[in-house]
Structures are given as C-alpha cells and as structure tokens.
Amino acid sequence: MHDVGKPVFHAHSNTYFGAWMRDAYPRTGQDMMKRWMTKHFQGDAVEEYLDEGDMRRQRIFVTHHLPHLYDGTNLVFFNGSLYFHRAGTPKIGKYELFSKRYNEVLIDEHAAHKGTDVS
C-alpha cells in the first residue's frame, strides 16, 4: 500500500454501534444500490435503504425482522441473504430477505463469545 485516499462520508447515525453494509454479490442491479443497517450489538431488525443517499437522509425503505437475535457487528450481506451470529449460540444464521427463509449451521462452540473467557 502506498497511500490512503480522502475519507468519504457515507452516513450519520444516532447510535455509536452497529453495521451498515451493501450486498457483496447482488442478485440484481437494483440490489447493487441498496444499503442495509443494523443498530447496536444485538437485535433482530435490519433496515433496508434503496440507495446510499436514502441511508444518509435516514429514509428507511423497509425494516426486516429476523427470526432470531443477531449478536455483534460482524454481519455480512451476500446474494440477498444476511449472515449473522445467532445470539447466545454457537450458530451462524442465514436469512434470505426475499423468501424469508432461515437456515443455520453449528460452529465450534469455542468460536462463539458467550460473555466468558474466549482465550
């Protein structure tokens, strides 16, 4: 790496914690423009914005409610699905926003932080 460019303002939020993301492999050209936001470290709501401008203006298109709580700010959006750590479990959840289908996989219990020593 030789240098870093100017910082780019994307949006402002009234919360200090959470995540905003775009789809790393969008299903459609329209999905390529969308942005999604979660607030706080734990919750079940994902806000969808039609584009980055709407996210800046805090103009929510729709709020999706997950079937289970997420934990952390390490959510990933890929091909129309949200991947997240299911709170309180050693599981990674996959929630497809269009179909509302949910699947999960079990991970090594030592990989999931449960409020105890993680060493």
Kindly state whether residue 86 falls inside one of the protein's structural domains.
yes
For residue 36 the two structure tokens come to 């999604």
Kindly state whether residue 115 falls inside one of the protein's structural domains.
no
Inter-residue contact 70 to 84 (CB < 8 Å) = yes
DSSP 3-state of 78: strand
Q: Which helix (H) or strand (E) holds 104?
A: strand 102-106
Predicted pLDDT at 106: 94
Per-residue pLDDT of the chain (119 residues; tens, 9 = 90+): 566 666 565 555 666 678 889 999 999 999 999 999 999 889 999 999 999 999 989 999 999 999 999 998 889 999 999 999 999 999 999 999 999 999 999 998 777 655 555 44
Predicted pLDDT at 6: 63
What would the 3-class secondary structure string for 51-75 be?
CHHHHHCCCCCEEEEEEEEEECCCC
Predicted pLDDT at 30: 94
Kindly state whether residue 67 falls inside one of the protein's structural domains.
yes
Kindly state whether residue 68 falls inside one of the protein's structural domains.
yes
Kindly state whether residue 116 falls inside one of the protein's structural domains.
no
Total number of domains in the chain: 1
Give the residue numbers spanning the domain of 99: 18-109
Kindly state whether residue 104 falls inside one of the protein's structural domains.
yes
Kindly state whether residue 31 falls inside one of the protein's structural domains.
yes
Kindly state whether residue 3 falls inside one of the protein's structural domains.
no
